[in-house]
């Protein structure tokens, strides 16, 4: 479906992208030409056909599920449900897991709030015990895994919730080891994959991930408001359909198209994770996501990861020379698409970010970190203009 081929290090599918260097893929993706074309096709169909556009775009959702299942190493498309984003997926799980009073959940300090708030709401609602660990303790060689194990040994833990990649430092979490520990103590591993999917390889089955939620507007290159949820098949039956809606039933549309007498409220709720797709949702958003994932597949996540790491290598030394502290782990397994730095004490981070923006270099600066998120479309040669801009801004601020 792509209009043109994507090539690593080429930004020609982003012809009107204003930034001289766009390094905020870890925040919000700019839309590529094939993704925009898919959105325009969907809009055109709905404009011309109204109801007649629904069928073809529902079929496209089927292709999207297949692509997403491949992307994360899920066995089957039916293990994937489409959602409005990461939060929507987590809220659905928090509402539907069969909590018992006295159950405990493990959350991590430092996580993006998406992966905390819905769990805390479930904790309030169901009387769950919340046990906190520190995300940064999970650096290779750090005390995180040991602390997780002793927390699990206390008993009653039903779920460990973690982001595949920490949004601030870019730390890639040791998911396989966390899954092994969780399983050894009868708990599930939930993963927020939005900072990994599309730039860092994920394989839910070899890693042992039980549940995963993701949004499409960062490294997948799609629009806000469209994402997905994965549940390993053995867990689907255990979920309570507390977020079910009219489209969650078996044969939910028969009464609309099949003649009189088919309107019923007792059709079973689907015993598949897509029961969370309870009502009408954004065809345009999923059209964008489908084209975006197709493009990521075309390039290959492994190749994207290597390209992004090569860009990191080209800019990191210049920042370190200026006194920034590189947040990456020396070990490659702790690294991700995000290159983050702690600023030197004499530099105001907001001023650095603004100075870079004035020079056409778009970065983000959440919670005290300078965050650089290049992607497959970032030319390696852009590293030079980025480092030159950083030098200029720091020299001005220090003058």
| DSSP state at residue 76 | -
Cβ distance to ligand PLP smaller for residue 13 or 189:
189
d(CA 371, CA 318): 15
Could you give the CA distance from residue 352 to residue 143 in angstroms, rounded to a whole number?
A: 33
Could you tell me the two tokens for 398? 């220090």
Chain position carrying tokens 């959350």? 107
Tokens describing residue 385? 């203009």
Query: Looking at beta carbons only, is 198 or 227 nearer to ligand PLP?
Result: 227
Q: To the nearest whole angstrom, how small is the minimum distance from the Cβ of residue 386 to ligand PLP?
A: 22
Nearest distance in Å: CB 171, ligand PLP:
11
Taking the complex as a whole, the smallest distance from the CB of residue 267 to ligand PLP amounts, in Å, to 30
Contact stretch for ligand PLP (CB under 6 A) within 82-90, 98-106, 203-211, 282-290: 82-90
Interface with ligand PLP in residues 48-77 (CB under 6 A) = none
Angle made by CA atoms 344, 349, 355, in degrees to the nearest 5: 115
Q: Hey, CA dihedral for 35, 38, 42, 44, is it positive or negative?
A: positive
Residue 163 φ/ψ, nearest 5 degrees: -90, 140
Does residue number 85 form part of the binding site for ligand PLP (CB under 6 A)?
A: yes
The contact pattern for ligand PLP, residues 133-172, with x = CB under 6 A and - = no contact, is ------------------------------x---x-----
Half-sphere exposure of 193 (CA within 13 A, CB side): 30
Which residues from 206-225 bind ligand PLP, rule CB under 6 A? 215
Q: Does 364 bind ligand PLP (CB under 6 A)?
A: no
Is residue 340 a contact point for ligand PLP (CB under 6 A)?
no
- Output the smallest distance, CB 227 to ligand PLP, in A: 6
Q: How far apart are CA 315 and CA 95, in angstroms?
A: 43
Cβ closest to ligand PLP, residue 114 vs residue 387: 114
Q: Which is nearer to ligand PLP, 38 or 226 (CB)?
A: 226
Q: Which of 21, 86, 95, 340 is close enough to bind ligand PLP by CB under 6 A?
A: 86
The CA-CA-CA angle for residues 278, 119, 210, to 5°, reads 70
Size of the site for ligand PLP (CB under 6 A): 13
Smallest distance, Å, CB 139 to ligand PLP? Answer: 17
Among 60, 103, 192, 274, binds ligand PLP (CB under 6 A): 192
21 lies in the site for ligand PLP, by CB under 6 A: no
> Is 19 or 161 the residue whose CB approaches ligand PLP more closely?
161
Q: Which is nearer to ligand PLP, 8 or 31 (CB)?
A: 31
Residue placing its CB nearer to ligand PLP in the complex, 110 or 355: 110
Find the part of the chain contacting ligand PLP (CB under 6 A) among 79-87, 204-212, 309-317, 331-339: 79-87
Euclidean distance between CA atoms 94 and 125, whole angstroms: 10
- For ligand PLP, the closer of residues 8 and 133 by Cβ is 133
Piece of the chain touching ligand PLP by CB under 6 A; list 118-126, 189-197, 329-337, 386-394: 189-197
**For residues 205 and 310, is the Cβ–Cβ distance under 8 A?**
no
Shortest Å distance, C-beta 170 to ligand PLP: 11
Taking CB positions, which residue lies at the least distance from ligand PLP? Answer: 215
Q: Cβ(267)–Cβ(249) under 8 Å?
A: yes
Is the CB of residue 322 less than 8 Å from the CB of residue 394?
A: yes
Please name the residue that has the structure tokens 């969907």.
Answer: 42
Buried-exposed string 148-185: b where 16+ CB fall within 10 A, e elsewhere: bbebbeeebbbbbbbbbbbbbbbbbbbbebbbbbbeeb
From the CB of 15, what's the least distance to ligand PLP, in Å?
A: 26
Which residues, other chains included, contact 280 with Cβ-Cβ below 8 Å and sequence gap of 6+?
Answer: 247
Q: Is 194 in the site for ligand PLP (CB under 6 A)?
A: yes
Window 96 to 115, contacts with ligand PLP (CB under 6 A): 112, 114-115
Query: Alpha helix (H) ranges present in the chain?
Result: 33-49, 54-71, 86-96, 117-126, 144-153, 175-184, 204-207, 233-236, 254-257, 283-299, 301-321, 349-358, 382-398
Q: Which residues bind ligand PLP (CB under 6 A)?
A: 85-87, 112, 114-115, 163, 167, 192, 194-195, 215, 227
């Amino acid at each position: 479906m792509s209009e043109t081929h994507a090539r690593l290090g080429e930004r020609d599918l982003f012809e009107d992208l204003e930034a001289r260097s766009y390094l905020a893929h870890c925040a919000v993706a700019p839309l590529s030409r094939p993704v925009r074309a898919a959105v325009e096709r969907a809009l055109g169909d709905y404009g011309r056909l109204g109801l007649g556009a629904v069928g073809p775009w529902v079929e496209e959702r089927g292709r999207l599920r297949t692509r997403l299942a491949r992307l994360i190493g899920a066995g089957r498309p039916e293990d994937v449900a489409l959602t409005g984003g990461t939060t929507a997926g987590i809220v659905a799980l928090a509402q539907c897991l069969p909590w018992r009073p006295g159950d405990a959940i493990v959350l991590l300090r430092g996580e993006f709030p998406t992966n905390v708030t819905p769990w805390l709401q479930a904790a309030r609602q169901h009387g769950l015990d919340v046990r906190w660990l520190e995300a940064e303790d999970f650096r290779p060689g750090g005390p995180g895994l040991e602390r997780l194990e002793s927390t699990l040994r206390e008993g009653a833990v039903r779920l460990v919730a973690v982001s595949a990649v920490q949004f601030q430092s870019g730390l890639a979490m040791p998911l396989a080891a966390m899954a092994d520990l969780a399983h050894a103590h009868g708990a599930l591993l939930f993963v927020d994959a939005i900072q990994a999917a599309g730039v860092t390889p994920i394989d839910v089955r070899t890693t042992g991930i039980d549940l995963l939620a993701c949004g499409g507007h960062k490294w997948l290159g799609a629009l806000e408001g469209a994402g997905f949820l994965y549940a390993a098949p053995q867990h689907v039956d255990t979920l309570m359909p507390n977020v079910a809606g009219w489209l969650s039933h078996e044969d939910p549309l028969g009464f609309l198209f099949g003649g009189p007498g088919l309107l019923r409220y007792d059709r079973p709720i689907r015993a598949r994770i897509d029961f969370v797709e309870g009502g009408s949702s954004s065809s345009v958003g999923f059209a964008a996501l489908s084209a975006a994932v197709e493009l990521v597949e075309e390039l290959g996540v492994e190749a994207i990861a290597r390209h992004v790491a090569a860009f990191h290598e080209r800019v990191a030394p210049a920042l370190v020379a200026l006194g920034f502290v590189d947040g990456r782990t020396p070990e490659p397994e702790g690294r991700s698409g995000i290159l983050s730095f702690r600023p030197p004490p004499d530099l105001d981070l907001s001023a650095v970010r603004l100075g870079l923006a004035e020079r056409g270099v778009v970065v983000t600066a959440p919670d005290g970190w300078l965050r650089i998120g290049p992607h497959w479309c970032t030319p390696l040669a852009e590293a030079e203009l980025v480092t030159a801009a950083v030098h200029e801004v720091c020299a001005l601020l220090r003058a």
